[in-house]
Structure 1
Amino acid sequence: MKKLPINGLHLWQFENFTKEESIRHFVTDRSSHSEEREFTLSLSSSPDKSFIHENRSRLASALGIENGNLFFPSQVHKTKIVHVTQSTAKESLVETDALITNEAGICIAVMSADCVPILVYDKKNNAVGAIHSGWRGTVAKILEKTLHEMQRLFGTKGEHVYAGIGPSVSQESYEVGEEVVQEVRQAFGHENELLIPTGSNKAKLDLWKANKLQLMEFGVSASRIEVSDLCTVRNNNHFFSARKGDTGRFAAGIMVKN
């Protein structure tokens, strides 16, 4: 990924997506304001709602779209997927962790502060998806479910998909307990190196690889999957991290251009 100044904001972009003329995408950096005011996008985690609306307005402006065409779900670590259109009410995005669309000019985005934000692009059918996948979403395979929903609605096939796995907690920084270890093994089996045991029934979990496996199982070529390799814990100066005590949230979004 590369960080670029775009219309007054500090935004990160996947190299594989920047080559695609039909889409626009971004991952926000917490530093687009001065040091006293951080660029957070989450209404639920900030007492200053007007500040969040101001940030969202700045983001929409940087993308060249109206505020009403920037869609964020209200995330709850489940597997609800919403197909977003011009007529989609913002109220319908509660308890939602993945958005998909094939309508130009609509930007769909998810927020994160250690969980994995994933962006997908179906080049043949000009459809996109934005997925929020923490450990619960990962073991529930929300990414796989989203790809199958895109297949059902848009005809998406793995051979036409490009994907970006965004900044999130790395395996090195992510120790989980016995409950999570058991669920990961139940979802993915034992032979995939997703877990590095650390003793006392704990392990370090690789969320990046777990989501990359879901993409590849759908038929996405490994060469079309870009992993940011940016750990939110170790790169906390750029990205919010709940493990570091942050309440802010950065965003990852994608849209089909008009």
Structure 2
Amino acid sequence: MKQVMINGLRLWQSESLSKEAAVKHFITDRSTTDNGKEFTLSYLSSPNREEIRHNRSLLAAAMGVEENQLYLPSQVHKTKIVRVSSSTQKQELMDTDALITNEKGLCIAVMAADCVPILLYDRRNGAVAAVHSGWRGTVALILEKTLREMHSVFGTEGKDLVACIGPSVCQASYEVGQEVVQEVEKTFGAHNSLLIPQANQKAKLDLWKANKLQLLDFGVEESCIEISELCTVKHNEHFFSARKGDTGRFAAGIMLV
């Protein structure tokens, strides 16, 4: 991952996706601007709706699109996937945690604050996806389901994809309880390094690897999977973290150009 400045906004970008001329992408920094205010994109994170609308308009401008061409879903940690087109209405993005599109000029994005944002680019078929995967989405295999939907709709194959697993809570900072441990073992099996046992039947969970496994199972080449290695807890000066008590949300998005 690398920091870039676009239209006065401090953003992060994937090294691998940056090499692809047919896409633009971004991950926002909580201190994206120099005005001293935190750059949050969620209407639920601030009582000042105008501030959020302004932030979204700045982000859209940095991507070279109109504000209504920036699509941010209302996320609920489930597995609804929406194919975005220029006629998609805001109400269609309710209770949604993954967006896909093959239309140029539409910027699709998800928000996070410890959960895993994942950006996908299908180089052969010209399609992109933005996926929000917390522990619930991960054990429900939202990434796998998004990949299958891309295959069904666009013809996407694993060999066609470039994937970026964005900033999120790392295993060292993510202790979970018995309920989560049981769900992870139910989905992925008990004998893997996704869980490091802790006291009181707790464990430390590796969301990065859990999502990487879904990409590998779909046939994505390991060399085409980039993990940011940026932990939202350890790098809290750059990214919001619910575990650290933040209410703000950063965003990760991608678009075809």
Distance 1:45 1:95 in 2: 17
Report the alpha carbon displacement of residue 199 of structure 1 after superposing the two structures with TM: 1.7
In structure 2, give the amino acid aligned to 1:143: L
Measured against aligned partners, the alpha-carbon deviations of 1:36-66 in whole angstroms (never above 9, x if no partner) come to 4110000122111000000000000011111
Measured against aligned partners, the alpha-carbon deviations of 1:114-135 in whole angstroms (never above 9, x if no partner) come to 0000000000001000000000
Measured against aligned partners, the alpha-carbon deviations of 1:19-48 in whole angstroms (never above 9, x if no partner) come to 100000000001123464110000122111
Partner of 1:221: 221
In structure 2, give the amino acid aligned to 1:124: R
In structure 1, give the amino acid aligned to 2:109: A
Distance 1:62 1:72 in 2: 16
Partner of 1:43: 43
Partner of 2:202: 202
Distance 1:141 1:45 in 2: 27
Structure 2 stretches of 5 or more lacking a match? none
Measured against aligned partners, the alpha-carbon deviations of 1:147-199 in whole angstroms (never above 9, x if no partner) come to 00000000000010110000000000000000000000000012220000012
Distance 1:97 1:231 in 2: 21
The 5 Å alignment of 1:1-258 reads 1-34=1-34, 36-257=36-257
Distance 1:81 1:91 in 2: 14
In structure 2, give the amino acid aligned to 1:90: K
Q: Secondary structure at the match of 1:44?
A: helix
Greater CA drift, 128-137 or 185-194: 185-194
Q: Secondary structure at the match of 1:15?
A: coil
* CA-atom RMSD in angstroms: 0.7
In structure 1, give the amino acid aligned to 2:229: D
Report the alpha carbon displacement of residue 221 of structure 1 after superposing the two structures with TM: 0.6
CA contact (8 A) 2:8 2:33 kept: no
Instruction: Name the TM-score, length of structure 1 as normaliser.
Output: 0.98
The size of the alignment, in residue pairs, is: 257
Instruction: Name the TM-score, length of structure 2 as normaliser.
Output: 0.99
